Amino acid sequence: MNQSPSFEDIFSLIEKTVSLLMASGSHTPRVIKNVERIANLFGCQAIVLLTVKAVSVTLKKGKLYKSFSFPVSLSGVNYETLFLVNQLTWKACEKKIGVQELEEKLTKIAKLKRYSFASTLLAVSLADAAFCQLFGGDYWSMGFSFIGTSAGFTVRHITKKAGTNPFVSTMLSALAASFTAGLLCLTVPGSFHLATATSVLFLIPGVVIIGATIDLMEGYMEAGLGRSMFATGILASIAVGLLPALTLLGRHIWAY
């Protein structure tokens, strides 16, 4: 094991760790604890400033200080990645894993196979259909919610792969989901409001809202406020997507 890795080696480890955690939906306290474990492993102290778009880290070793920054993104949720990275940093501290081994394990975690689009589409659509039944919907409403969710999720997948702005992507997905579900509901009286409303539930940024709440409660105001504003923007985009769909279908939001 290399007992004295350079700052650049430690920075590389920290960047990979933070990028994996942020891209998987981690809240700020978890990110900072993982960074501190890696820094302490190599005899450094870490000072971390985290926002929703970038991270700044300052390492202190003796009388030496060095800082660096890198961009991050809130791109999704992956609890398996969160667990594995958290587990890895704990094991690194206990077993004194070296830089090269840590790099290899982080790379392996980053390359883990994710669920296929088809399986995710099915699971998400079934979940929204289940919510529809939970709120009192009949089998027609559940089926229309399922189809509407499938349409919206497909649009979200396509726009996300194309690099579309997340707010525009959310708006288009909400429009596709609600219009598809609402259009089908016109064939069966009484099923409109539940199927249309539940078809967009998959777009609700629940993990971001929870992360923002934890950040604010723990005192990480920059990250917490940033996540809060991002979540607010996503919720507003859902509303903007619903509005034209309901208008085209001859319905009014205040009627429900």
pLDDT digits (tens, 9 = 90+) for 133-161: 998 888 999 999 999 999 999 999 999 99
Sign of CA dihedral 208, 77, 52, 203: negative
User: Per DSSP, what are the bridge partners of residue 71?
Assistant: 54
Q: What pLDDT, on the 0 to 100 scale, is given for residue 2?
A: 47
Contacts 24+ apart (CB under 8 A), 236-241: 236/167, 237/167, 237/168, 237/170, 237/171, 237/174, 238/170, 238/171, 238/174, 238/200, 238/203, 238/204, 239/174, 240/171, 240/174, 241/170, 241/171, 241/172, 241/173, 241/174, 241/175, 241/177, 241/178, 241/200
Q: What pLDDT, on the 0 to 100 scale, is given for residue 155?
A: 97
Assess contact for 146 and 128: CB atoms under 8 A: yes
What mean pLDDT is predicted for residues 16-35? 92
pTM for this model (two decimals)? 0.86
pLDDT band at 1 (very low <50, low <70, confident <90, very high): very low
